Amino acid sequence: MRAVIMAGGKGTRLSKLNSEIPKPMFPVMDKPILEYQIESLVRCGITDTTIIVGYLKDVIIDKFRNGKNYGVNITYIEEKEPLGTAGALFYLKEEKDDFILIFGDLILDVDFTRFMDFHKKNGAGITLFVHPNSHPHDSDVIVSEDGLVTDILSKTNSRDFFYHNLVNAGLYCIAPRILKGIDCPSKIDLEKGIIRKLIDKREVYAYRSTEYVKDMGTPERLMDVVSDVKNGVVRARSLRNKQKAIFLDRDGTINEYVGFLRKITDFKLLPKSAQAITEINTSPFLAIVATNQPVIARGEVSVGELEDIHKKMETELGKQGAFLDDVFYCPHHPDSGYIGEIKELKFECDCRKPKIGMLTRAADKYNIDLSQSWYIGDTTVDIQTGRNAGMHTVLLCTGEGGKDRKFDVAPDYVAQDLLEAVQFILNTEIR
């Protein structure tokens, strides 16, 4: 597997800090960004790397040379003049194998093997590495169905609707066949000139991951990145390592409890939910929702209507700087006899809580150690679910407040609301 790193940019926004080095060479704890990228690639066995250079190219070449001192083989492509984010890919159109493309201003630590496996499994022309972030309202948002990208919502357009918080991180898997249309090395924008044209051809896929990928293109972001590297956050989030998660029920935990929530207008965040989830986002834990939604099987809410409710949840959280790493739901219901019910969803599944199918699917997807994770909910069903999965649990006094009494089970802690629950967990050392 080969990697290509775009390292030809000037880094205009960082030039006031140091105008004598290119952006990918800005130091983070005395080591350039580019070196972190190469180290992450090597940890996944990727030792063939091509670096596209331009502005102050000698600074990069003098540092890395042929890569021997870093355990890799490095070759270089020089942009004689700026070619945008994709023009230099002309020089790679004759490649035989799919490759990883990385923008040179990213601090990351990614399991590239998982990423490429997803790309090849779908036979994609290009796969985008995507994740939720804390500011989707001013980011381009990816729209996808089962991983297939169907649209990109530009941050420059007004959004008077709800949307999933899913953002392009600037990391790609590319099949050389999509580069055949580049006839000469000219200035091309990757998104506008290549990706958007491939969406209608069903060639673009989105790989969702919780791993750390963040650009350091401004002084403020550079400070955040330095802190995250220093605290070990970057390395810990790699899916090569076991993850910890805080699983959340939805109704009565994140949003106001109204019984079975059937209308999007009835969805309202509880007062401290966004703050609580923000604290998870800045912790070693993932924030993942796992919720029973039998209203689907009963024919009371369509899958599309449920998706709209979840879009509202993600949009409203995003406005307050919070995000969910993923949302899992069970649409099944074992009992028949409802008018308009969906018969094919009426069976005993393995995901309806207190069964743990949603949790094990999340664990497989994100390499989560359930024994080091927590479940927070407002019912004894939630607590029993956590117990069944070998997790720690917190019962909330919001929502049903444990009054369902379906199971005789005690939580590890009882909290007044989600914020108290999260703060208790983050202050508790799990041994």
pLDDT in tens, 214-228: 988 777 888 888 999
What is the pairing mode between strands 148-153 and 141-145? Answer: antiparallel
**Given 105, 251, 378, 382, the catalytic residue:** 251
What is the pairing mode between strands 31-32 and 99-103? Answer: unpaired
Distances (CA, A) of 244 to 100, 258, 283, 375: 27, 30, 10, 11
Band (pLDDT 50/70/90 cuts) for residue 431 is very low
- Kindly state the average pLDDT of the residues 149-157: 95
Q: Is 249 annotated in the active site?
A: yes
Name the residue with higher pLDDT: 176 or 221: 176
- Kindly state the average pLDDT of the residues 105-116: 96
| DSSP assigned state of 57 | H
- Of the listed ranges 188-192, 216-220, 374-378, the least confidently predicted one is 216-220
- Kindly state the average pLDDT of the residues 200-214: 97
The per-residue pLDDT for 414 is: 98
| DSSP assigned state of 88 | G
Q: Which parts of 47-133 are beta strand (E)?
A: 48-53, 73-78, 99-103, 106-108, 126-131
Which residue's structure tokens are 């019912």?
A: 379
Residue spans per domain, the chain:
2-230, 243-426
- Kindly state the average pLDDT of the residues 365-382: 98
- Please give the mean pLDDT across all residues of the chain: 94
One-letter amino acid for residue 315 of the chain: T
CATH 3.90.550.10 for domain 2-230, yes or no, is yes
**Given 249, 325, 382, 417, the catalytic residue:** 249
Cα–Cα dist 257/247, whole Å = 18
- Of the listed ranges 43-47, 296-300, 334-338, the least confidently predicted one is 334-338
Band (pLDDT 50/70/90 cuts) for residue 429 is low
User: Which token pair is 79?
Assistant: 């942009």
One-letter amino acid for residue 322 of the chain: A
Cα–Cα dist 425/413, whole Å = 9
pTM for this structure?
0.94
SS3 percent helix, strand, coil of the chain, rounded to 5, is 30, 25, 45
Question: Does the pLDDT at position 18 exceed 60?
Answer: no
- The separation between the first and the last C-alpha atoms of the chain, rounded to the nearest angstrom, is 38
Inter-residue contact 378 to 398 (CB < 8 Å): yes
Question: Does the pLDDT at position 16 exceed 60?
Answer: no
Secondary structure (3-state) at 145: strand
- Kindly state the average pLDDT of the residues 273-292: 97
Share of the chain above pLDDT 70, in %: 97
CA 300 to chain centre: 31
What is the pairing mode between strands 392-396 and 374-377? Answer: parallel
- Kindly state the average pLDDT of the residues 132-136: 94
Under CATH, what is the fold of the domain 243-426?
Rossmann fold (3.40.50)
Which residue's structure tokens are 């800005």?
A: 26
The per-residue pLDDT for 290 is: 98
Q: Is 228 annotated in the active site?
A: no
The per-residue pLDDT for 223 is: 86
- Kindly state the average pLDDT of the residues 114-139: 96
Which ranges constitute the DSSP H helices of 146-301? 196-199, 219-230, 233-236, 273-281
The per-residue pLDDT for 235 is: 93
What are the phi and psi torsion angles at 331 (to 5°)? -95, 5
Question: Does the pLDDT at position 430 exceed 80?
Answer: no
pLDDT in tens, 62-80: 999 999 999 999 999 999 8
Question: Does the pLDDT at position 97 exceed 90?
Answer: yes
Which residue's structure tokens are 């041994």?
A: 431
Q: From the CB of residue 42, how many other CB atoms can be counted at a distance below 10 Å?
A: 16
Share of the chain above pLDDT 90, in %: 87
- Of the listed ranges 84-93, 111-120, 215-224, 355-364, the least confidently predicted one is 215-224
